Amino acid sequence: MKKVAVLLSGCGVFDGCEVNEAVLTLLTIATEGASYQCFAPDQEQMHVIDHLSGNVAEMEKRNVLVESARIARGEVLATTALEIDNFDALIIPGGYGAAKNLCDFAVNGADCEISTLVESFIDQFKQAQKPVGFICISPVMIPKIYPQGATGTIGTDEETAAAFDVMGGQHQQTNVDDIVVDSKNKVVSTPAYMLANTIVEAHKGIEKLVKKVIALT
């Protein structure tokens, strides 16, 4: 049975992992007959957002690993616990947490840096030539990890696509229900809620991505 690592970035679209994208990813992995293990960096979130009001909760602090446990029903490991030989692939759902906690793209754009805990985690899959799927905004990390010219998509947003290219990647526009495959680097990406208006639209691209990532193992 194939085993897929899933990297979470907290819990909640505005300051952590997009819950629908995470759940759809886990469901599709299981539906495809594979198993999964969730991971998250053991670090403080950039900030906490009140998801009802949309305001920053100034006095609150939360841990990415602890918050990710909400999605994973407690079954989540720190990124430092990865044993790469036990896994065939990695998938990274989006949400603002991917651009605030896994990296700081939300603040620094093309000048962003990836969390050291996250970079070393993803790099193990890269070095082992194991496929990685990037969903929603998480593909902005592709140019920071893979060689010059690595391809990926965040959909059709021109500003984000331009930043992707500036960082050394090669962005490809695509529709919400489609994927972009960089066969050379074994990287797959899909826009999901960068474009999706409904959970059904998000599911179509995520399902294709999961199936392709597993097929590349």
Render pLDDT for 161-212 as a digit per residue (tens, 0 to 9).
999 999 999 999 999 999 999 999 999 999 999 999 999 999 999 999 999 9
How far apart are the C-alpha atoms of 166 and 74, rounded to whole Å? 38
Per-residue model confidence (pLDDT) at position 54: 86
Q: Do 205 and 179 contact (CB within 8 A), yes or no?
A: yes
Residue 51's pLDDT is: 93
Q: Using one digit for the tens of pLDDT, what is the confidence trace for 40-85?
A: 999 999 898 999 898 888 889 999 999 999 999 999 999 999 999 9
Catalytic residue among 11, 17, 103, 136: 136
Give 3-215's CATH code, choosing from 3.40.50.880, 3.50.50.60, 1.10.260.40, 1.10.1840.10: 3.40.50.880
Question: pLDDT by residue (tens digit) across 90-102?
Answer: 999 999 999 999 9
Note the pLDDT of residue 207: 98
Q: What is the DSSP string of the chain?
A: --EEEEE---SSTTTS--HHHHHHHHHHHHHTT-EEEEEE--SB-S--B-TTT--B-TT---BHHHHHHHHTTT-EEEGGG--GGG-SEEEE--SHHIIIIIB-HHHHGGG--B-HHHHHHHHHHHHTT--EEEETTGGGGHHHHSPTT-EE---S-HHHHHHHHHTT-EE----TT--EEETTTTEEEE-GGGT-SSHHHHHHHHHHHHHHHHHT-
| Domain range summary for the chain, segments of one domain joined by + | 3-215
118 band by pLDDT with thresholds 50, 70 and 90? very high
- 136 catalytic, yes or no? yes
pLDDT for the residue 14: 95
